[in-house]
Amino acid sequence: MALTDFWFITIAVLWIGYFFLEGFDFGVGMLLHPIGRTDAERRVMINTIGPVWDGNEVWLLVAGGATFAAFPNWYATLFSGFYLALFLILLALIFRGVAFEYRGKIDSVRWRQRWDIAIAVGSWLPAVLWGVAFANIVRGVPIDANQDFTGNLFTLLNPFGLLGGITTASLFILHGANFLSLKTVGEVRERAHRAAQIAGPVAIVAGATFLIWNQLERGKGWTWIVVIGAAVALVVGLLAERRNSEGIAFGATGLAIAFAVIALFGSLYPDVMPSSTDPAFSLTVENASSTDYTLKVMTIVALVMTPIVLLYQGWTYWVFRKRIGTQHLPVVHHS
Amino acid sequence: MFALGALPLARWQFGITTVYHFFMVPLTIGLSVLVAWFHTRWYRHGRESDLRLTKFFGKLFLINFAMGVVTGIVQEFQFGMNWSVYSRFVGDVFGAPLAMEGLVAFFLESTFLGLWIFGWGRLNPKIHLATIWAAAIGTWLSAYFIIAANSWMQHPVGVVFNADRGRAELVDIWAVLTNSTTLAAFPHVISGAVLTAAVFVAGISAWWLMRRNPTDVDREGFTRALKTGLWVTIVAGLVLSVSGHFQTRLMFEQQPMKMAAAEALCNTETGPGLSIFAVGDVSKDCDVRSFVIPGLLSFLATDTWDAEIPGVNEVQADYEQQFGPGDYIPNLMVTYWGFRAMIGIGLVSVFAAAAALIYLRAKKVLPQSRWAGRVAVALILTPFLGNSAGWIFTEMGRQPWVVAPNPNGLPEIRQLTADAVSTSVGGATVLFSMVTFTLVYGALGIVELFLLKRYTEAGPDAAITGVLGGSDEPPDDTPRGPEGSDDRPTDEPSDDDADRLVFAY
């Protein structure tokens, strides 16, 4: 396999890791108000992701850094082109990250309510915008001969892009609800189940429409299998949720997210950013990539480091595996 | 709509967001180690005072860390957003250290810091101690990779030029990772960071000892923290000056224009001195430098007192000959004063620490005056200003280049900042982004300072028990917070709360 193909797959894997992990912590943030009716319940929800959200977000930084290193032209065109969308994502991630850390620092209702809003909005925005961005990457955007994006924010807000946004948002809500059912006890857990039952059908309809639309326009033969895999995973997840098999439900929505990313990247290949202006201007794994030497260096680093990272990140989830409920919160801080 | 181009705005945004980010970063790098040190002392000797120091400074560390993390994401994104032409030109070499930073360092610090924060009472004490050290190592590794990336912009090595694709291409990763510029800059940045945290710890400890009346256990702890902070400041100051000297020697060889600009040296001189200050505009007038210490610039640059140091005008003429007509002179006001501010402010920190140590040795206790307390707090700011001045000097001194040409490397490996900016992004967009980031950063900076102040004033009690009370709620009957409840959770959960978390957000 060519190294450029290997790195195309690696970038896809990094995005899968990011959407699998931060997908559920976005979901928890999006469900903060619908599920957490009291301050104590919202605290429980935040604490399910408290120890891990920052490590989850590093997957984004590594996906960005790896794109810069392996496909500098992709990085340059994408980041300068999707400027305002990324700017909004950055603002959202700034407020959200600070909110997790600062929310509990002052024991005041108003103080916490404001940070709760930051967490909710800061989770909704990227959950929608990542879907919009990826839908537009595969759909193709106006790119000129200099590999410069020639559209604006509204170029991205086409029906296919918006459907992509609805798909990621509903998938992340479902994923987050399943995560909460798995990690909490009591009222929060029950409401999380109900949220999953509402978000599930939405995710199936939006996701199926989005992926089939994508298949019909640019899919490959083998990506049909992946799309079917995503659909099966979602259905299995919903059935498991109804039978209170929360671990299976969570794993299944995670798998659906992974399949959806594979379907998108599969239909994208060998382009990395197709141009809707002229296919000759498209960025491909060949013309956007770094040299073989750089890719070789990065391959060694990735092959050595990734297993180590997975090992200790996995261990974190093991350490914090216990379910929590309002009765587990420390005594000094309460609503 | 806007006549203003994207270039100056993109530069302002980079400057503002980077200087701001680098308020948090050095404190994170330095304080992670000091907190790990207090934690280690507690683990070894089991003294209550060390645990209280760990939690107190740990709390301040985390308040600061959060802001460092979120502003760091902007840094990685804005290369592509505002500097896409640069990204295409250097991506083959510059992207690798950034990706390594994420894979090797960011995962380590974020994951293990999460384990440390939430690990109280849940992890085996030895493993819990290891998590803070792992996080600290992560912050240091992160500094290494990003300095390697920055050093490549100052002194590009390990690359060839691909004329077809018009870009720099990596041929030797070791040359990049062991760039002499990196090897000199890393100890300089790290010792600056350690000094920042040491002054922070010493200043806050001194303030507590002078302005509050701590309990016996905290008096013991803060006295120890104060002495630790002061000694670390002195040692870090020594490493700073030695590494700074090595950097100056490299700068003389690698970036002669920056060297000349540091002194605003107009014309080539043999054995030039270093001026303490200048009266007037150094960019217009050659004879405004005052209090020149003879031969010192020559010594800093070459280790000899009578070397010939090229002046700004000569380097400009050289560059014109090599790279065509153009203005290759950086903003001399900024470089001249930035260089002095960096050194001068650094010296203030170190001399203040030395003076405090001498005073302590003579008098044993600190003065109980409001004035002294204010000085202690004000001194905390000095390293932050010194760090900023140093970075502003080195980045502005590289201008007009974003990738400075290496005198011993390939001349094609160079890029003007003006040629690096994204061609597809309009001035209005960058203006909007720059203004928004500035306002958001400003507002969040106020929140961070407010929290640091509240938690500093509340002291170790608040750090042990949890959160501070707000002002909008009437006090209720339930004991809570720092105002003296005695049912604080300890590290060992009691039987009836076996499942209760020791720490939660």
Could you write out the DSSP letters of every residue in B356-383? HHHHHHHHSS----HHHHHHHHHHHHHH
Query: Residue B282 and residue A268: Cα distance in Å, rounded?
Result: 56
Task: Yes or no: say if B470 and A106 are a contact pair by the CB < 8 Å rule.
Answer: yes
- Phi first, then psi, for residue B79 (nearest 5°) are -55, -45
State yes or no: pLDDT of B287 exceeds 80: no
Which residue would you say has higher pLDDT here, B103 or B478?
B103
Total Cβ atoms within 10 A of residue B484: 9
- In this predicted model, what pLDDT tens digit does every residue of B120-171 receive, in sequence order? 989 999 999 999 999 999 999 999 999 999 999 999 999 999 999 999 999 9
Shortest alpha-carbon distance between residue A190 and chain B (Å): 21
Lowest mean pLDDT among B52-66, B338-352, B469-483: B469-483
Residues 6+ apart with CB under 8 A from B239: B187, B188, B190, B191
- Which of A68, A91, A297 to probe by mutation at the B interface, max B CB count within 10 Å? A68
What does the pLDDT read at residue B497? 53
A49 belongs to a structural domain: yes
A332 belongs to a structural domain: no
What does the pLDDT read at residue B462? 84
State yes or no: pLDDT of B491 exceeds 70: no
Q: Tell me the mean pLDDT in the region B402-410.
A: 95
Q: Tell me the mean pLDDT in the region B216-243.
A: 96
- In this predicted model, what pLDDT tens digit does every residue of A76-111 receive, in sequence order? 999 999 999 999 999 999 999 999 999 999 989 999
SS3 at position B425: coil
Which CATH number does the domain housing residue A309 bear?
1.20.1630.10
Distances (CA, A) of B276 to B115, B334, B343: 48, 15, 10
A11 belongs to a structural domain: yes
A245 belongs to a structural domain: yes
State yes or no: pLDDT of B380 exceeds 50: yes
- In this predicted model, what pLDDT tens digit does every residue of B150-162 receive, in sequence order? 999 999 999 999 9
Instruction: Please indicate if any CB of chain B lies within 8 Å of the CB of A107.
Output: yes
Query: Residue B463 and residue B115: Cα distance in Å, rounded?
Result: 18
Q: Test B466 with A332 for CB contact under 8 angstroms.
A: yes
The DSSP H or E segment spanning A41 is: helix A39-49
pTM of the model: 0.93
- Which of A22, A94, A116, A147 to probe by mutation at the B interface, max B CB count within 10 Å? A94
Instruction: Please indicate if any CB of chain B lies within 8 Å of the CB of A50.
Output: yes
Q: Test A68 with B440 for CB contact under 8 angstroms.
A: no
Report which of B56, B32, B39, B37 is spatially closest to residue B128, judged by C-alpha positions. B39
Amino acid code (one letter) for A323: R
Report which of A66, A85, A92 is spatially closest to residue A4, judged by C-alpha positions. A66
The residues in A 276-295 lying below 8 A from B, measured between CB atoms, are 290-291, 293-294
Confidence of residue B9 (pLDDT cuts 50, 70, 90): very high
Task: Yes or no: say if A84 and B426 are a contact pair by the CB < 8 Å rule.
Answer: no
Residue A239 burial by Cβ neighbours in a 10 Å radius (0-12, 13-18, 19+): middle
- In this predicted model, what pLDDT tens digit does every residue of B313-327 receive, in sequence order? 999 999 999 999 999
What does the pLDDT read at residue B49? 95
> What is the residue-averaged pLDDT of chain B?
91
The H-assigned helical ranges of B46-124 are: 48-82, 84-100, 107-118
What does the pLDDT read at residue B367? 84
A169 belongs to a structural domain: yes
What does the pLDDT read at residue B246? 96
Confidence of residue B480 (pLDDT cuts 50, 70, 90): very low
Domain count across chain A: 1
What does the pLDDT read at residue B467? 63
- In this predicted model, what pLDDT tens digit does every residue of B429-464 receive, in sequence order? 999 999 999 999 999 999 999 999 999 999 998 888
Query: How many CA atoms within 13 Å lie on the side-chain side of B303?
Result: 7
What does the pLDDT read at residue A20? 98
The residues in A 29-48 lying below 8 A from B, measured between CB atoms, are 43, 46-47
Q: Is the ipTM of this complex over 0.85?
A: yes
- The owner of tokens 């683990």 is B43
- In this predicted model, what pLDDT tens digit does every residue of A57-70 receive, in sequence order? 999 999 999 999 99
Distances (CA, A) of B372 to B205, B281, B369, B386: 12, 36, 5, 22
Torsion from C-alpha of B391, B396, B400, B406, nearest 10 degrees:
-40
> Which residue of chain A has the CA closest to B469?
A107
- My answer on whether omega of the bond before A270 falls inside 30° of 0, hence cis, is yes
State yes or no: pLDDT of B495 exceeds 70: no
Nearest by CB to A47, from B424, B487, B505: name it: B505
What does the pLDDT read at residue B484? 36
Report which of B489, B505, B495 is spatially closest to residue B121, judged by C-alpha positions. B489
SS3 at position B215: coil
Q: Which domain holds residue A264?
A: 3-326
Report which of B116, B115, B105, B140 is spatially closest to residue B40, judged by C-alpha positions. B116
State yes or no: pLDDT of B25 exceeds 90: yes
Task: Yes or no: say if B390 and B342 are a contact pair by the CB < 8 Å rule.
Answer: yes
What does the pLDDT read at residue B279? 86
> Which residue of chain A has the CA closest to B422?
A80
Structure tokens, B55: 């939690």
Task: Yes or no: say if B63 and B452 are a contact pair by the CB < 8 Å rule.
Answer: yes
Report which of A21, A315, A124, A103 is spatially closest to residue B66, judged by C-alpha positions. A103
In this prediction, the residues of chain A whose per-residue pLDDT falls under 70 are 331-335
Shortest alpha-carbon distance between residue A306 and chain B (Å): 7
Query: Residue B356 and residue A141: Cα distance in Å, rounded?
Result: 63
Confidence of residue B1 (pLDDT cuts 50, 70, 90): very low
Percentage of chain B modeled with pLDDT above 70: 93
Q: Tell me the mean pLDDT in the region B458-484.
A: 58
Confidence of residue B493 (pLDDT cuts 50, 70, 90): very low
Confidence of residue B26 (pLDDT cuts 50, 70, 90): very high
